[in-house]
Amino acid sequence: MTLLNATLLTSLLQEQASNEAINKIIRDTKEKPNADWYGLSFTEPELDKECPNPGYMILKEKTFKSKKFNNKLVFALECYGEFFGECYINYNLYYEAEKSYNFLESDYVVRNKKQVIASTNIYYDNQELISNIFKDKNKTKINQGKISFSLNNFLAPEIWTNCQDRNAGDQKEFINFDHENGLFEKETHEIIDIKNTFTKKRKNRLTKTLVHSIDKDSGEPTSFGALFNSKGELLKFTIPEMALVASKENKKKVLSNKIN
């Protein structure tokens, strides 16, 4: 694991979403918390035929007062996934939901039916960013010093992508905070297609993106895709390291697929 160049990191951290855009998201999740369900399928036809229902994921966004963080108003993103009925992932991200929207803490856990395989807890201690990592039966502690990361940074790529001014071919660099290891990584977000569909009731804008980065283990270029609608809802995204694609579905269908 390597640290991002300090000059580049400082530059990328300046790419932030406005407080007004953040406030809108916070208001929406406070009034009506989101819980989106995604069914999984393989990107390879042969694998998909052999295992048509490899698992599912749930993404939740909510804003609430947290006793853990001294009754602060907190914005949380929670993710839970089951893969192949034997691998489970769970991560929770917490940010202040009021100015200056600072990162508070994150927990990341991968386990099977018997034990925890990997975990990471990231938090600030005396304003220094600390990562406690458990992986391959080893424990590692990383201190990245006084780096300030906020909800404005975290949501900036999503807000930029779903701006109505976007056009196919647009690209922009952002910082990604990898919650598996606490390191910052450069990502290039690219709009690869925009399609407008029409019904009698409304117009819908579908935005397809590709996110380019460097694989943290191999050091090789990698990318993943995502599809958003006019409301900025994430309809589909790929998980290249597992050759999977996640598609938004209703809860009943996801659980029905799991049972079958």
At 74, which helix (H) or strand (E)? strand 72-83
Q: How far apart are CA 151 and CA 156, in angstroms?
A: 8
Residue located via tokens 């409301």: 231
- Which of 87-90's residues contact partners 24+ apart within 8 Å by CB, and which partners? 87/55, 87/111, 87/112, 87/117, 88/112
Q: Is the pTM of this model over 0.85?
A: yes
- The dihedral through the CA atoms of 25, 28, 31, 36 has a sign that is negative
Q: What is the pLDDT along the chain (260 residues), one digit of tens a residue?
A: 456 788 888 888 999 999 999 999 999 888 888 899 999 999 888 888 888 889 999 999 999 999 999 999 999 999 999 998 889 999 999 999 999 999 999 999 999 988 999 999 999 999 999 999 999 899 999 988 888 899 999 999 999 999 999 999 999 999 988 888 778 899 999 999 999 887 777 788 999 999 999 877 778 888 999 999 998 999 999 988 888 999 999 998 888 876 54
Query: Domain limits of the chain?
Result: 6-259
Helix (H, G, I), strand (E, B) or coil at 154: helix
Q: Which of 3, 9, 25 is nearest to 174 (CA)?
A: 9
Residue located via tokens 């943290």: 216
